[in-house]
């Protein structure tokens, strides 16, 4: 029979519907075994409503969820398929004929409220591969089938309930009715009247009255089903619908009917029952609502629920329990082991011990323990330490009173722990801050003070609680002062200033105080917070600072600021520039750094005090003598010409040059003095000081320990250097400089080992300018960095050409000024530049002058060490000219030492030969290469070979030559 064509499943119900579904699935898809069941009340199994094995129907039965695929359908609430492995996965699946099946397909059945009420199981003896077609076919009746299964489940529950309540409780709510079709006569039982809430049983029942009582939304399909059941045997009148009573209430009725026909098959009578199932539906609705509310509440609480059965060692948890951990609930049933593995080991051991003691100590009613979670055990953790707490109590005991079950909650307390830590830290800060803190309530009554407040004022907190801060008032400030204070607090919420207050012992002291108003979310004042500190020592320091504002604290001389002001005032007081001259002496100690390095800065300070005494002794007015800064002094000589100023300056030079004893050490000092005279040396204090300073530096260049007068020649030289600076700057930017290379030769083989890069400048004005002239200018005027960067890029470019020409082992050394490293000036590090040309770092050697490297800070030494770590070798140039050559070798640890040419020129002398020999021997022992500079004769070369000198450099082999000549020299050696 083709059920799909002859009728629709919606026209069937109950057993007929179930058998029709089973038979249609067998005929349409060769489903060997069709099982339709409803989930039992305890959710532990299925009430089998219908089975159809190869078109034959079986009797209802019960199927436990123990190791059967139907359990997974109910658990997941979705389609569940087992192919080919059914026997392996479910060896105990013992339902009738199930052992013969190869494929299982389980489809969940839902009632109208989307509650899962049953399962439709399809078993195939052979593998099944038409799942889409089967799904589409089942979709045509699954909704109605689910409703019917749900109803059958409800009906079974009602039958059980009615059987339990026993006779007499009159809760069956079932009435009977008869409709004689030919006479159009209706008969109702009394229960039907009660069901329809008719108080008057004399009311004559009619079809129109029945139609009026049917709920408008159900009326059409109910009457249509009734008429079709009369017209055809294939339609049963068995349905549930709503009725709308006259008082507006709604009831659910279950109607069943049997149509009686005459010998011709004509319907003559209908007999049926009316069952008021409103209570069943209401109870179901309430249960569903309560279930939804319970689920919503269960999922919305912050705590996770747990229960531990001590006898079975079973640990049950809620989904929220694992959500707190950021993990999915374990599916293997090992909740306890998985949970314990998430806890930090130290806390886990402590927690287990604590739980054991809790169980053994029966008087303890609550178990609570805080622990940390492993960072790797919490998914999407923000990196901070995570804290949880578990709390539980005993919920069941055995007959001996021993605990058998413990239940409780788990909560994330990370924020609470962190908040407590912050409060603790805030309290520590509050108690230990050096500032005094006073807090009042909204009525300006003291509620708290910190320890610093107690120590500063002498009051204890308990003495001040509830009092006004006026108890600290000194009485110095008037009412206007405090009115201004409160005006700012009320209008701006804060005030800051100085207040004189009184300690408990009566002492008045100054304090710097800041007061802030604290408001709540409603902008209502809740507190005033005052933070202050005792500034007594600041006041004393201020007095000292005022005293020394114009004095040097070490020497007692006028300081720089006061001196400049004095010179400016003196210039302003001169009316006739032609008739009133005065002079400035700019005095600088020679080699003062050596004294500091040898004997320390304290000793150096004493020397400065001695120099100040000499100046006071030799010069007429002490207030005209200034300590300008460091080891520099300035002197104002009013109404003094340049000639007279020179006399005064020479007196100072002679006085300072006299040896003196300090801390049992004989000290010899000298000074260099520059003189500028108003107005010929300048008409402003800036020009006079600058020119005197320049004259002083010119004196140092002439040999120190003397006096130099600023004049036109110095100015001309100064201007020439400025012009050279500007031309050099342009030459660097326009890349007008060139780089030549002098070979460094292996003394034993005569082969070139590397080259030294030497910058050359052919100026368009002065022609060839020696590096000895323009490099000092570059250093003085801040061009040395850009000059060094130009040379570095040119060397890298040329070295790349050498490597491409086949001389890949050749390296080049470059001279770098230490001043280039003091500030990078935005230039990239040397190693970045070298790597940008795809050159190995070891192919560039950095040469640093020994004297300047030794005199600079340890930062330079650290930088040179980083060069060596990168693979860039360091060469110590002009070795032997520094005052601490051996110490520089130890401190700088260079790769190469270059012996200064001054030693090579006189190497035929015994002293020079001995010194050079010592340097070479020391270098051999330290593993340092040695290059002798300035080799110009064969005799010098032979002597150096006898001393086992590694490398030589000088005109004997070649002067510095262009890159093209270098290539020719290298090719000649092949």
Task: Give the pLDDT confidence of 924-972 residue by residue, as tens digits.
Answer: 888 899 999 999 999 999 999 999 999 999 999 999 999 999 999 999 8
Q: How far is CA 99 from CA 72, 324, 515, 880, 886, in A?
A: 18, 43, 87, 102, 97
- Which tokens belong to 923? 């270098």
CB-CB neighbours of 762 under 10 Å: 12
Rounded CA separation 931/951 (Å): 5
Residue 292 in this model has a pLDDT that exceeds 70:
no
Task: Give the pLDDT confidence of 159-174 residue by residue, as tens digits.
Answer: 666 544 333 334 567 8
State the greatest distance between any 2 C-alpha atoms of the chain, in Å, as a whole number.
160
- H or E stretch covering 768: strand 767-769
Provide the pLDDT for residue 642: 87
More confident residue, 865 or 899: 899
Residue 404 backbone phi and psi in degrees, to 5: -120, -20
Residue 792 in this model has a pLDDT that exceeds 90:
yes
Rounded CA separation 228/11 (Å): 9
Task: Give the pLDDT confidence of 650-689 residue by residue, as tens digits.
Answer: 999 999 999 999 988 999 999 999 999 998 888 898 989 9
Rounded CA separation 623/569 (Å): 14
Half-sphere exposure of 853 (CA within 13 A, CB side): 30
Task: Give the pLDDT confidence of 882-901 residue by residue, as tens digits.
Answer: 544 566 676 677 899 999 88
In the sheet that holds 314-317, the strands lie side by side as 314-317, 304-309, 403-412, 386-397, 366-373
For the ranges 25-34, 171-180, 230-239, 800-809, the lowest mean pLDDT is seen at 171-180
Q: How far is CA 962 from CA 274, 488, 743, 762, 969, in A?
A: 120, 78, 11, 14, 11
Residue owning tokens 């450099």: 953
Burial of 81 from C-beta contacts in 10 A (0-12 / 13-18 / 19+): middle
Residue 635 backbone phi and psi in degrees, to 5: -135, 130
Q: What is the CA radius of gyration of the chain?
A: 54
User: What secondary structure letter does DSSP report for 827?
Assistant: P
User: What secondary structure letter does DSSP report for 376?
Assistant: G
Q: Considering only CA atoms, which of 798, 735, 724 is closest in space to residue 766?
A: 724
Residue owning tokens 């040396």: 681
Q: How far is CA 541 from CA 501, 537, 549, 559, in A?
A: 19, 6, 12, 18
Provide the pLDDT for residue 886: 64
Residue 113 pLDDT level (bands cut at 50, 70, 90): confident
Is residue 679 reached through a cis peptide bond, with omega within 30 degrees of 0 on the bond before it? yes
- Which tokens belong to 569? 């005032």
Rounded CA separation 278/79 (Å): 32
Rounded CA separation 361/342 (Å): 27
Rounded CA separation 928/850 (Å): 15
Provide the pLDDT for residue 268: 84
pTM above 0.95, yes or no: no
More confident residue, 354 or 762: 762
Provide the pLDDT for residue 877: 84
Provide the pLDDT for residue 6: 37
Residue 813 in this model has a pLDDT that exceeds 70:
yes
Rounded CA separation 46/121 (Å): 11
Residue 333 Ramachandran class (φ > 0 left, ψ -120 to 50 alpha, else beta): left
- Which tokens belong to 628? 């300008």
Task: Give the pLDDT confidence of 309-351 residue by residue, as tens digits.
Answer: 888 888 888 878 888 887 788 877 778 888 888 888 888 888 8
Provide the pLDDT for residue 167: 37
Rounded CA separation 732/774 (Å): 12
Q: What's the gap between Cα 634 and its chain centre?
A: 55
Residue 510 backbone phi and psi in degrees, to 5: -90, 150
Task: Give the pLDDT confidence of 568-606 residue by residue, as tens digits.
Answer: 999 888 876 555 789 999 999 998 888 888 888 999 999
- Cβ proximity of 325 and 373 under 8 Å: yes
What is the rounded average pLDDT for all residues in the chain?
A: 84
Rounded CA separation 308/403 (Å): 11
- Cβ proximity of 48 and 97 under 8 Å: no
Could you write out the DSSP letters of every residue in 380-434? T--SS-EEEEEEEEEEEE-TTS-EEEEEEEEEE-HHHHHHHHHHHHHHHHHHH-S
Residue 301 in this model has a pLDDT that exceeds 70:
no
Rounded CA separation 892/884 (Å): 12
Rounded CA separation 733/726 (Å): 11
Pairing state between β 304-309 and 403-412? antiparallel
In the sheet that holds 436-441, the strands lie side by side as 446-449, 436-441, 525-534, 508-519, 494-502
Provide the pLDDT for residue 853: 54
Rounded to the nearest 10°, the torsion over CA 718, 722, 728, 733 is 160
Mean of the pLDDT values across residues 554-566?
A: 90
- Cβ proximity of 13 and 5 under 8 Å: no
Provide the pLDDT for residue 747: 92
Provide the pLDDT for residue 716: 72
Q: How big, in percent rounded to 5, are the helix, strand and coil portions of the chain? A: 45, 25, 30
Mean of the pLDDT values across residues 618-640?
A: 90
Rounded CA separation 46/156 (Å): 13
Provide the pLDDT for residue 381: 45
pLDDT over 70, % of the chain: 89
Task: Give the pLDDT confidence of 125-159 residue by residue, as tens digits.
Answer: 888 888 888 888 998 888 888 888 888 888 877 76
| Contacts with 779 (C-beta within 8 Å, 6 or more apart), sequence order | 817, 819
More confident residue, 300 or 263: 263
Task: Give the pLDDT confidence of 896-929 residue by residue, as tens digits.
Answer: 999 988 889 988 888 889 889 988 998 888 889 9
For the ranges 346-360, 389-403, 422-436, 634-648, the lowest mean pLDDT is seen at 422-436
Mean of the pLDDT values across residues 383-390?
A: 80
- Cβ proximity of 38 and 147 under 8 Å: no
Residue 191 in this model has a pLDDT that exceeds 60:
yes
Termini Cα distance of the chain = 107
Residue 554 backbone phi and psi in degrees, to 5: -80, -50
Task: Give the pLDDT confidence of 821-833 residue by residue, as tens digits.
Answer: 655 555 678 888 9
Residue 96 pLDDT level (bands cut at 50, 70, 90): low
Q: Considering only CA atoms, which of 274, 247, 71, 59 is closest in space to residue 179?
A: 274
- H or E stretch covering 654: helix 642-657
User: What secondary structure letter does DSSP report for 842?
Assistant: G
Residue owning tokens 């059941």: 229
CB-CB neighbours of 683 under 10 Å: 13
User: What secondary structure letter does DSSP report for 497?
Assistant: E
Rounded CA separation 424/145 (Å): 65
Enumerate long-range contacts of 523-529, CB under 8 Å, 24 or more apart. 524/442, 525/442, 526/441, 526/442, 527/439, 527/440, 527/441, 527/442, 527/447, 528/439, 528/440, 528/442, 528/444, 528/489, 529/437, 529/438, 529/439
CB-CB neighbours of 206 under 10 Å: 13
Task: Give the pLDDT confidence of 447-476 residue by residue, as tens digits.
Answer: 888 888 888 899 998 888 989 888 888 888
Rounded CA separation 695/672 (Å): 9
- Which tokens belong to 513? 């105080």
Rounded CA separation 302/52 (Å): 49
Half-sphere exposure of 421 (CA within 13 A, CB side): 8
Provide the pLDDT for residue 362: 67
Rounded CA separation 739/724 (Å): 19
């Amino acid at each position: 029979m083709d059920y799909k064509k002859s009728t629709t499943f919606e026209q069937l119900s109950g057993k007929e519907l179930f058998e029709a579904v089973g038979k249609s699935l067998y005929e349409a898809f060769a489903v060997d075994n069709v099982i339709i069941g409803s989930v039992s009340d305890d959710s532990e199994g299925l009430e089998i409503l219908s089975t159809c094995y190869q078109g034959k129907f079986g009797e209802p039965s019960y199927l436990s969820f123990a190791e059967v695929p139907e359990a997974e359908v109910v658990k997941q609430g979705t389609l569940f398929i087992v192919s080919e492995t059914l026997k392996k996965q479910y060896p105990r699946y013992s339902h009738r004929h199930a052992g013969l099946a190869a494929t299982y397909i389980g489809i969940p059945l839902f009632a109208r409220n989307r509650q899962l009420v049953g399962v439709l199981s399809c078993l195939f003896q052979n593998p099944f591969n038409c799942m889409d077609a089967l799904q589409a076919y089942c979709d045509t009746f699954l909704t109605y089938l689910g409703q019917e299964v749900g109803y059958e489940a409800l009906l079974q529950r009602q039958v059980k309930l009615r059987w339990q309540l026993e006779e007499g409780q009159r809760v069956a709510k079932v009435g009977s009715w008869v409709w004689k079709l030919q006479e159009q006569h209706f008969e109702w039982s009394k229960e039907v009247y009660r069901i329809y809430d008719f108080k008057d049983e004399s009311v004559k029942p009619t079809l129109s009255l029945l139609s009026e009582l049917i709920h408008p939304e159900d009326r059409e399909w109910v009457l249509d089903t009734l008429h079709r059941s009369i017209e055809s045997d294939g339609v049963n009148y068995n349905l549930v619908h709503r009725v709308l009573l006259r008082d507006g209430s709604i009831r659910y009725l279950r109607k069943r009917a049997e149509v009686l026909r005459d010998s011709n098959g004509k319907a003559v009578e209908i007999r049926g029952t009316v069952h008021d199932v409103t209570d069943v539906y209401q109870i179901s609705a309430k249960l569903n609502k309560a279930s939804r509310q319970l689920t919503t509440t269960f999922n919305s609480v912050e705590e996770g629920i747990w229960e531990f059965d001590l006898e079975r060692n079973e640990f049950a948890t809620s989904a929220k329990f694992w959500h707190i951990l950021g993990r999915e609930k374990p599916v293997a049933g090992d909740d306890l082991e998985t949970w314990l593995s998430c806890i930090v080991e130290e806390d886990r051991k402590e927690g287990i011990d604590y739980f054991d003691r809790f169980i053994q100590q029966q008087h303890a009613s609550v178990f609570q323990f805080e622990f940390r979670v492993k960072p790797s055990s919490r998914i999407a953790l923000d990196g901070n330490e995570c804290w949880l707490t578990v709390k539980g109590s005993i919920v069941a005991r055995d007959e001996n009173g021993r605990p058998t079950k413990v239940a409780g909650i788990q909560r994330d307390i990370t924020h609470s722990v962190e908040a407590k830590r912050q409060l603790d830290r805030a309290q520590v800060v509050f108690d230990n801050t050096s500032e005094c803190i006073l807090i009042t309530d909204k009525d300006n009554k003291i509620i708290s003070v910190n320890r610093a407040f107690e120590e500063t004022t002498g009051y204890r907190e308990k003495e001040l609680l509830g009092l006004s801060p006026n108890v600290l008032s000194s009485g110095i400030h008037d009412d206007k002062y405090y009115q201004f204070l409160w005006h700012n607090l009320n209008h701006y919420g804060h005030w800051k200033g100085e207040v004189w207050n009184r300690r408990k012992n009566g002492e008045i002291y100054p304090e710097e105080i800041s007061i802030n108003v604290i408001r709540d979310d409603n902008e209502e004042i809740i507190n005033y917070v005052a933070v202050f500190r005792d500034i007594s020592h600041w006041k004393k320091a201020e007095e000292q600072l005022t005293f020394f504002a114009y004095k040097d604290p070490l020497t007692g001389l006028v300081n720089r600021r006061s001196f400049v002001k004095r010179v400016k005032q003196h210039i302003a007081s001169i009316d006739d520039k032609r008739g009133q001259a005065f002079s400035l002496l700019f005095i600088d100690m020679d080699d003062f750094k050596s004294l500091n390095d040898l004997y320390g800065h304290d000793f150096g300070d004493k020397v400065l005090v001695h120099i100040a005494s000499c100046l006071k002794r030799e010069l007429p007015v002490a207030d005209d003598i200034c300590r300008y800064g460091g080891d520099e002094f300035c002197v104002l000589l009013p109404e003094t010409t340049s000639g007279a100023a020179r006399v005064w300056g020479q007196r100072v030079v002679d006085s300072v040059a006299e040896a003196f004893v300090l801390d049992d050490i004989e000290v010899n000092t000298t000074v260099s003095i520059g003189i500028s005279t108003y107005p010929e040396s300048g008409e402003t204090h800036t020009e006079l000081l600058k020119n005197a300073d320049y004259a002083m530096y010119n004196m140092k260049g002439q040999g120190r320990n003397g006096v130099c007068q600023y004049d036109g020649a110095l100015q001309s030289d100064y201007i020439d250097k400025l012009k050279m600076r500007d031309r050099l700057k342009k030459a660097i930017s326009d890349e007008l400089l060139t780089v030549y290379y002098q070979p460094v030769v292996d003394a034993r083989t005569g082969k070139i080992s590397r080259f030294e890069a030497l910058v050359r400048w052919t100026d368009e004005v002065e022609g060839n300018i020696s590096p000895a002239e323009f490099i000092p200018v570059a250093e003085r005027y801040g061009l040395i960095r850009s000059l060094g960067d130009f040379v570095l890029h040119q060397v890298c470019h040329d070295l790349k050409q050498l490597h491409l020409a086949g001389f890949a082992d050749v390296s080049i050394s470059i001279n770098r000024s230490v001043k280039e490293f003091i500030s990078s000036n935005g230039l990239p590090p040397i190693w970045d530049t070298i790597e940008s040309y795809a050159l190995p770092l070891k192919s560039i050697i950095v040469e640093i002058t020994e004297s300047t490297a030794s005199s600079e800070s340890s930062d330079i030494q650290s930088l040179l060490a980083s060069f060596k770590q990168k693979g860039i070798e360091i060469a110590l140039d002009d070795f032997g000219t520094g005052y601490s050559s051996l110490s520089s070798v130890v401190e700088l640890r260079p790769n190469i030492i270059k012996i200064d040419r001054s030693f090579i020129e006189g190497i035929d002398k015994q002293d020079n030969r001995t010194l050079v020999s010592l340097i070479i021997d020391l270098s051999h022992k330290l593993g340092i290469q040695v290059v002798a500079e300035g080799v110009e004769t064969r005799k010098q070369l032979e002597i150096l070979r006898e001393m086992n000198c590694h490398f030589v450099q000088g005109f004997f082999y070649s002067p510095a030559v262009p890159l093209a000549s270098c290539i020719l020299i290298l090719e000649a050696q092949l």
